Amino acid sequence: MGPSVRSRAISSALRLGVRPIIHRIPGHAGGIRTARSTVDAAALLMRPGSRVRVLPLNDPQLGTGRDERPVTGEWVVSRDAESTAGGDAGPAAGAVLYLHGGGYVVCSPRTHRPITSRLALDTGLPVLAPRYRLAPEHPFPAPLEDAVAAYRWLLARGVPASGIVVAGDSAGGHLAAALAGEICRLGLPGPAGLVLFSPWVDLTCEISLRAQERARDPYISAVSARRVARLVVGPAGFDDPRLALLTCAWTDTPPVLIQVGGDEVLRPEAEALADALTSAGADCELQVWEGQMHVFQILNRVLPEASAAMRDAGRFIRTVTAPAAAAEPPEAEAA
């Protein structure tokens, strides 16, 4: 079965109206700041659904006695779920740690509420979306340091690692996978699972550049991604081994779900990561959604394919965090 009428219409609109602009996005700090301001202004119009609560988080971590990074961002919690996220009634039994996409240079927890709200509804778990530092002001590994701080923050507040799923999209997918590797290297207890939506696996963009002519991606350009990647890595370049997901050892990796659109230029990267994980012995499920674009899941309120993909992600998260759970929360048609 091919993509829905809505999916084809949205893809066509993006291909004609958005892709030419993104393809020419300048690879310098000024252009990035302009794009960031535009995205942030648009995000102010994005309201969370009535079935979730959004709770701000701002913990400077001054009283820990350790040199910990501040943890800021937001909790997204289903109103129907019993959760103590952000409260004082005790630790939550589990949580989703969601790392937003945006090429490491734009976006925020607010821009990704369509995804975090849906995850909260479909899983019954609170979703923590940290606000990590962005390039070019803060090149890699600054975002990874912030992601590690958020994961440590959950553990320190009594959320068991066996109840935590790390998830992310695009650059946030790269960050989520890098965090899984860093958790292993630091000797921290590993999460229950890893969910990656259209992950940006290869920041050198060598794979996506080779796929550029064959892909029918409605709006992502490998050329512009490479320009942005140079800002992300900064003066240190691409030598940091934590950037290279395809050469990671992937020891003690939790179950992984990867979803990627069939038409996007990053599809070969997702397939290469799935191969690397499977070769390392990890339990990895790769879903290629025919005719879909980059991070199509963010349109789960309007696209039937995106809604179905989010349901699959919710099932995966419930399975790895509570395998014995007999009941499932009702399916959410909209966040």
Tens of pLDDT, residue by residue over 301-331, are 999 999 999 999 999 999 999 864 434 455 5
The per-residue pLDDT for 3 is: 83
170 catalytic residue (yes or no): yes
Whole-number Å distance between alpha carbons of 59 and 253: 29
Determine, yes or no, domain membership for 332. Answer: no
Whole-number Å distance between alpha carbons of 109 and 103: 14
Q: Annotated catalytic residue: which of 264, 269, 305, 307? A: 264
Tokens of 70: 């501040």
The residue ranking higher by pLDDT, 294 or 26, is 294
The per-residue pLDDT for 2 is: 78
Determine, yes or no, domain membership for 330. Answer: no
The residue ranking higher by pLDDT, 85 or 326, is 85
Determine, yes or no, domain membership for 335. Answer: no
Q: For residue 308, give the CATH number of its domain.
A: 3.40.50.1820
The per-residue pLDDT for 204 is: 96
Strand pairing category for 164-169 and 193-197: parallel
The per-residue pLDDT for 10 is: 73
Determine, yes or no, domain membership for 326. Answer: no
Determine, yes or no, domain membership for 26. Answer: yes
Q: How many domains does the chain have?
A: 1
Whole-number Å distance between alpha carbons of 240 and 254: 23
Element (H, E) at 42: helix 29-43
Confidence of residue 332 (pLDDT cuts 50, 70, 90): low
pLDDT (average), residues 199-217: 89
pLDDT digits (tens, 9 = 90+) for 144-189: 999 999 999 999 999 999 999 999 999 999 999 999 999 999 999 9
Q: pTM for the full model?
A: 0.90
The per-residue pLDDT for 327 is: 41
The phi, psi pair for 207, rounded to 5°, reads -70, -45
Determine, yes or no, domain membership for 224. Answer: yes
pLDDT digits (tens, 9 = 90+) for 32-47: 888 888 888 888 877 7
Q: Name the most confidently modeled range: 52-56, 88-92, 224-228.
A: 52-56
Average pLDDT, the chain: 88
The residue ranking higher by pLDDT, 66 or 49, is 49
pLDDT (average), residues 215-241: 89
The per-residue pLDDT for 151 is: 98
The per-residue pLDDT for 326 is: 37
Q: Annotated catalytic residue: which of 83, 108, 170, 221? A: 170
pLDDT (average), residues 181-209: 97
**pLDDT > 90? residue 254:** yes
Determine, yes or no, domain membership for 50. Answer: yes
Q: Annotated catalytic residue: which of 198, 208, 294, 307? A: 294
Whole-number Å distance between alpha carbons of 171 and 193: 18
307 catalytic residue (yes or no): no
The per-residue pLDDT for 65 is: 60
Whole-number Å distance between alpha carbons of 100 and 167: 9
**pLDDT > 90? residue 256:** yes
Q: Which domain holds residue 269?
A: 5-85+93-321
Determine, yes or no, domain membership for 155. Answer: yes
pLDDT digits (tens, 9 = 90+) for 2-26: 788 877 777 666 655 555 555 555 5
Tokens of 61: 């971590």
50 catalytic residue (yes or no): no
